[in-house]
Structure 1
């Protein structure tokens, strides 16, 4: 290669000292180099002559490389710079210590990876792709040779931007390697327009390769491989490897659907399914396959088809019974939504989305919804859903993921029945940030419809009346709630700063005033402010919130708490608690504080009833369970204390 002859090991180009050659491919030659200015190791890719010599190609490459350089994600190799020196054009990238996935997998079934590693790598690749797709960047050349794995197991996707240059050419031109063709999607092989779903297909090929050590579509030359991609189905995974979870086989098959519309439409949908496989594999609840031949697989398919027909007939009858029963799910838990971007700075937003969805569902009288305090203890858990549901005492769980990109938010949600475990409903929502409350109402309505919960006329009206919000004000509010939930003096003061910022941006944002009231009310308990200083501010904020929106249960609770504990106005306090519970029967704090009020008045039976309801809604809350023991003690009922301690154990 003439271009390569000009590159001498030890030579310095601009401020990059060439150290060694790393590899060569259709899109250029890669060298390891030292950035002498920043004193760091980098990788430099010198582009092929047809790009460097053509002004049109150079301009197009710059535009696409600039888009790729804007990507910032732990699973994407960072592009540092695009340089032009003496007719040389090269791209400066992050240097990664590790191995190409192609070399890790190798050739043949004896080199296939452990299932746990396959799921981990595929999840990381999908996360990187999702981040790129959110920025409208499609890789178009995902393959195991473009995936690096560090010594610590971190996956890095290489060559973003470069693939787009190649993608603009006719894909089966002379000189293209069979290795690249093997990862093409059907639409890519036809030379028609492609989008993010082409990357999902290619990830399916990589997935298949990791599981079996083989590629799903084979041939001795390019056109034979393309024919296989367009017309043939890959050998079933169950015919190549024993012990592949059936759910994992379904995921790979969905990635490799011939029609793009039949695949996963977004990478975050794939991530949610992979996370379930990972969790269930740790619990031992996954169903695994045994190796079968193609003939056995065909016979099995015929048997399965007949069985499914019978089950379909039974299902129709069962569905009528289900309708006659009016549902069957009366309680659920919204598990912490997953931060797809894996960005710590977005954690407050993802937790805020979880809390907003819990708040919306908890207002439905026909449902018992577990409060935030209890469900957050399952964040990043590997427990199976059935075990989580049993511990929380619910019939179903809601799980999903959140991805925010600039002024848009994308949420993937699933409703899963706990016993027997089955997916009842799933949906993906993509909205502008200003419509975030409308989005929560839409999700709530879909879940309520699926489980056939009965809504009151007021609940129906509320779910259809959500309005757009000021995104900046809501951003500040979510940050305030994030710090408020930590319940320390420092975090409460930080929360107050954000709530004040929210109402400064939007003086009519009622829920931010409610947050302000909650924060001021708790300051004396954190030992930061005396009640005479904090409580009046809490009352003022709560009254402002109710002036703007009388339906805010949180504000009623703060005002009721202040009226009883500090003003000794028992009548107004009780009215406030009752109104809060009427507005949001699933608000555990309302039942908790009302129980405290009733205990002070010596109304022990009522106090126990309220604190028991609070425990049902927030079974893992330390303050609620501690107070329950106090009520039983004061009421002279030690049996209740023992029962509460046993439930806490």
Structure 2
């Protein structure tokens, strides 16, 4: 029975705009949430799924369990709702391309495949830790955002497990070898052997499906195929996949070995968790990154940001958040922007590193933000998050360098300096970041980093205050008071150290802004 069209209709608090896609569960529409003023994806359930009260109640329970997942690579479920008899799920709207379309467009490099595989593994590891097994991992349920992030969809149809339990596959999810309409949960081509047989399944079924997807990304072909669903199931149950090396060249041997292990017929012979699998994937990812076997792989393995130019994609990217004033002393607020700006200025000298400018990160000043979300928003691989305490003439900075994709802390430290030795703080933070990023600098870059802009701490503090006031003027207030304060700070810095080039540059920036803003 065909579903009615919801385009142009008002469903609850949602204005439905356009159809995004159709699937076995129903239809998905782009809609606007009138209360929260955001775009969402609305999945309307087919009538067949809503006729059984028991089935519907179980679905609601499972959707609620899945909505508790909070991970950057898992689509966010906002609610399971009903309005005038229409049952729907409201989720995060993700702009991007599903992996199915990506596979049909062109081949993928090993670096791009590993990047996607790592993000999928992180997401599924988080889901399994929460007792949730997806059961329908396939390219159609994987979205590649334009900034390189991967999102797994349809966790609302996943099964929730108590600790130690397997999943009883309901009859609808078993492939009926005589009729296709019997298939509700799971797609034959991406099912595990135990799922296809209708056996009890656990989280390891996702590992097998993951292996199928990864094999397909590497070779462009499915590991198990056939003319009919019966043939596909028979291949999954009985036949080994064709060796990857027969279908694609230049695939690292260790990566082929990982995929083979995920596709073993018996769950006990596969990886037993995505945590275990992730460890091996990261080793391969590190080797691919370090070798940079080709320009193409170097462009894609760095988290696959298709919006970057080819030149940009060859370098890592870092975002330095405004520091947090943990002592809540208003007199020291200027350090929030100034310290971050100081680090940004130093790191910007390194050609092998892209640094998000102060103008971009200034909007986060004074706000509690999630570093992972910031990295996501700014397409940065790593984020520096730091706070500071002042006591008398001492400053203590605590900082973390976070890998946005893996979630790992690459470096964490506490740095104590005297207030009149702020230059030492800059040197220490900069060196620790470079160590955490494992960057190899040229001799010229080493010299530039080691060279201090001034040796007079008092001049440098005035410069930092000037940068803070100028930043406030340019990015937040456009206040003549902040502008005048910045000019005064830079002039004082120049008076203290007439050779201080950055202070002269700051003063010039003030006058340029005054001219362009029509302030005389």
Query: Distance between the aligned counterparts of 1:91 and 1:61, measured in 2?
Result: 11
Q: Give the SS at the match of 1:161.
A: helix
1:171 aligned residue (170, 174, 179): 174
| Match for residue 273 of structure 2 among 258, 261, 266 | 266
Q: Secondary structure of 2:80's match?
A: strand
Corresponding residue number in structure 2 for 1:626: none
2:285 aligned partner? 278
Which residue does the alignment assign to 1:242? 249
Change (3 A) 1:120 1:259: same
Partner of 1:141 in structure 2?
136
Partner of 1:124: 119
- Kept in 1, the 8 Å contact 2:100–2:140? The answer is yes
- Structure 1 unmatched ranges of 5 or more: 287-343, 345-381, 383-481, 495-517, 529-649
Structure 2: 5+ residue stretches without partners: 161-167, 294-320, 322-351, 353-386, 400-412, 421-520
Distance, in Å, in 1 between the alignment partners of 2:152 and 2:40 is 16
1:228 aligned to 2:235? yes
Q: Tell me, in whole angstroms, the C-alpha distance in 2 between the residues paired with 1:119 and 1:233.
A: 22
Equivalent residue number for residue 254 of structure 1: 261
Distance (whole Å) between structure 2 residues aligned to residue 273 and residue 13 of structure 1: 46
Once the two structures are TM-superposed, the CA of residue 124 in structure 1 deviates from its matched residue by: 0.6
Deviation at 1:178, TM superposition (A): 12
* Equivalent pair of 1:13/1:85 in contact (CA under 8 Å): yes
8 Å contact kept, 2:76–2:92: yes
Instruction: State the secondary structure of the residue aligned to 1:215.
Output: coil
SS at match of 1:106: helix
Kept after mapping to 2: 8 A contact 1:251/1:273: yes
Q: What CA deviation, in whole Å up to 9, does each residue of 1:251-310 have, x standing for no partner?
A: 100111111111111112222211111111123299xxxxxxxxxxxxxxxxxxxxxxxx
Q: Distance in 2 between matches of 1:42 and 1:64?
A: 20
Structure number with higher strand proportion: 2
- State the secondary structure of the residue aligned to 2:21: strand
Partner of residue 159, structure 1:
154
Q: 1: distance between equivalents of 2:227 and 2:44?
A: 30
Aligned to 2:424: none
Residues in 1 aligned to 2:394 and 2:94: alpha-carbon distance in whole angstroms: 43
| In 2: Cα distance, 1:69 partner to 1:223 partner | 35
For the residues of structure 2 that align with 1:492 and 1:31, how far apart are their CA atoms? 47
CA deviation after TM superposition for structure 1 residue 182, in Å: 0.7
Cα-to-partner distance string for 1:521-570 (whole Å, 9 max, x where unaligned)? x97x6459xxxxxxxxxxxxxxxxxxxxxxxxxxxxxxxxxxxxxxxxxx
> Compared with structure 1, are the counterparts of its residues 98 and 493 closer, same or farther at alpha carbon in structure 2 (3 Å cutoff)?
closer
Select the structure of larger CA radius of gyration.
1
SS at match of 2:147: coil
Aligned partner of residue 225 in structure 1, secondary structure: helix
Contact residue 140 and residue 167 of structure 1 kept, 8 A: no
> RCO greater where, 1 or 2, for CA within 8 Å and sep 6 or more?
2
1:491 matches 2:491: no
CA contact (8 A) 2:169 2:198 kept: no
What's the secondary structure of 2:159's corresponding residue? helix
Distance 2:125 2:185 in 1: 27
CA distance in 2, matches of 1:493, 1:151: 33
Deviation at 1:167, TM superposition (A): 5.3
Deviation at 1:50, TM superposition (A): 2.2
Task: Give SS of 1:17's match.
Answer: strand
Match of 1:13 among 11, 23, 28: 11
Equivalent-residue separation in structure 2 for 1:65 and 1:221 (angstroms): 32
Structure 2 residue aligned with 1:76: 74
Shift in CA distance, 527/18, structure 1 to aligned 2, threshold 3 Å? closer
**C-alpha distance in 1 between matches for 2:80 and 2:251:** 43
Partner Cα distance (2:134, 2:394) in 1: 47
Distance verdict in 2 for CA 1:483–1:172, change over 3 Å: farther
The alignment partner of 1:491 has SS state of strand
Alignment of 1:441-460 (within 5 A): none
Q: Does 1:201 align with 2:204?
A: no
Normalising by structure 2, what TM-score?
A: 0.54
Task: Please name the residue that 1:48 is paired with.
Answer: 46
Greater fraction helix = 1
Measure how far apart 1:64 and its partner are. 0.4
Cα contact 1:143–1:206 (8 A) shared by 2: yes
Following superposition, the deviation at residue 493 of structure 1 comes to 9.5
Of 57, 60, 67 in structure 2, the residue corresponding to residue 59 of structure 1 is: 57
Query: Against the structure 1 CA distance between its residues 483 and 247, is the aligned structure 2 distance closer, same or farther, given a 3 Å change threshold?
Result: farther
1:180 corresponds to 2:180: no
